[in-house]
């Protein structure tokens, strides 16, 4: 069995930056967001069902799911969000399990943005690593991606509160500072995880 670290954090906390660093050090990264993208891009296995459930107008002209339209719908209508999650989550879990089983690295960093919200997270990972940043830092980072503050606050609002995530954590990366500070913390955790992963 692979040793699996569940990496989570709020939007804009720096999960991706941390994952890139773990990968650079030799860990295998399995990212649920990346899998979700594959399922909903042109030719993705979730597209026919998305079209059936939400209508053809949720499929963009390039044949992929229209992400901005779907984001708008999911955050304004909880029933639609639940429907989308009910479709995607089992597919993501199945593909994640396949990739974890085939992982070549000494341990797996499983990036799950909604890990704490998932309820059964303790059964799915050996350790929970939270990448944490103050809310104003999160908002500033996500604004650089082109989302407006209102949208960002909506997303933060449906995610687990920062305190709940920190309470669930075995390990925390404080990412309110520089990339250098993040890398140093990842390096220290990498050594620890290599120890844990030893048979």
Burial of 85 (0-12, 13-18, 19+ CB in 10 A): middle
Q: How do the pLDDT tens digits run along the chain, 199 residues long?
A: 899 999 999 999 999 999 999 999 999 999 999 999 999 999 999 999 999 999 999 999 999 999 989 988 988 888 999 999 999 999 999 999 999 999 999 999 999 998 998 767 778 899 999 999 999 999 999 999 888 898 888 889 888 999 999 999 999 999 999 999 999 999 999 999 999 999 8
Q: In this structure, how many other beta carbons lie within 10 angstroms of the beta carbon of residue 78?
A: 10
Q: Are residues 114 and 195 in the same domain?
A: yes
| Strand extents, DSSP E, 83-148 | 108-111, 127-132
What pLDDT was estimated at residue 118? Answer: 77
Answer yes or no: do 131 and 146 share one domain: yes
Q: Got the DSSP string for 5-60? A: EEEE--TTSSHHHHHHHHHHTTPEEEEHHHHHHHHHSTT-TTHHHHHHHH-GGGB-
Instruction: Tell me, rounded to whole angstroms, the distance of Cα 159 from its chain centroid.
Output: 11
Six-digit token string for 183? 């890398």
Domain encompassing residue 42: 35-104
Task: Evaluate whether 11 touches 144 at the Cβ level (below 8 Å).
Answer: no
Residue 196, number of CB atoms within 10 A of its CB = 12
- Residue that the structure tokens 């992400």 belong to: 67
55 and 118 assigned to the same domain: no
What pLDDT score was predicted for residue 6? 97
Distance CA 139, CA 11 (A): 8
Same domain, 18 and 90: no
Give residue 122's pLDDT: 76
Residues 135 and 72 in one domain: no
- Among 104, 121, 145, the domain boundary falls at 104
Does 55 lie in the same domain as 10?
no
Count the domains in the chain. 2
Identify the CATH number of the domain in which residue 182 sits.
3.40.50.300
Query: Of 55, 73, 104, which residue constitutes the final position of a domain?
Result: 104
Say if residue 195 is in the same domain as residue 117.
yes
């Amino acid at each position: 069995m692979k040793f699996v670290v569940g990496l989570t954090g709020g939007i804009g906390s720096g999960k991706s930056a941390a994952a890139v660093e773990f990968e650079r050090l030799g860990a295998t990264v399995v990212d649920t967001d990346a899998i979700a993208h594959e399922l909903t891009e042109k030719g993705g296995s979730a597209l026919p069902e998305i079209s059936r459930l939400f209508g053809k107008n949720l499929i963009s002209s390039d044949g992929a799911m229209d992400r901005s339209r779907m984001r708008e719908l999911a955050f304004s209508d909880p029933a639609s969000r639940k429907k989308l999650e009910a479709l995607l989550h089992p597919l993501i879990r199945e593909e994640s399990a396949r990739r974890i089983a085939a992982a070549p690295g000494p341990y797996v960093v499983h990036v799950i943005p909604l890990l704490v919200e998932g309820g059964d997270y303790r059964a799915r990972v050996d350790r929970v690593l939270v990448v944490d940043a103050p809310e104003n830092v999160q908002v500033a980072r996500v604004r650089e991606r082109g989302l407006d503050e209102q949208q960002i606050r909506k997303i933060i609002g449906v995610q687990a509160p920062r305190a709940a995530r920190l309470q669930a954590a075995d390990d925390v990366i404080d990412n309110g500072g520089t990339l250098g500070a993040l890398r140093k913390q990842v390096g220290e955790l990498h050594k620890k995880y290599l120890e844990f992963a030893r048979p």
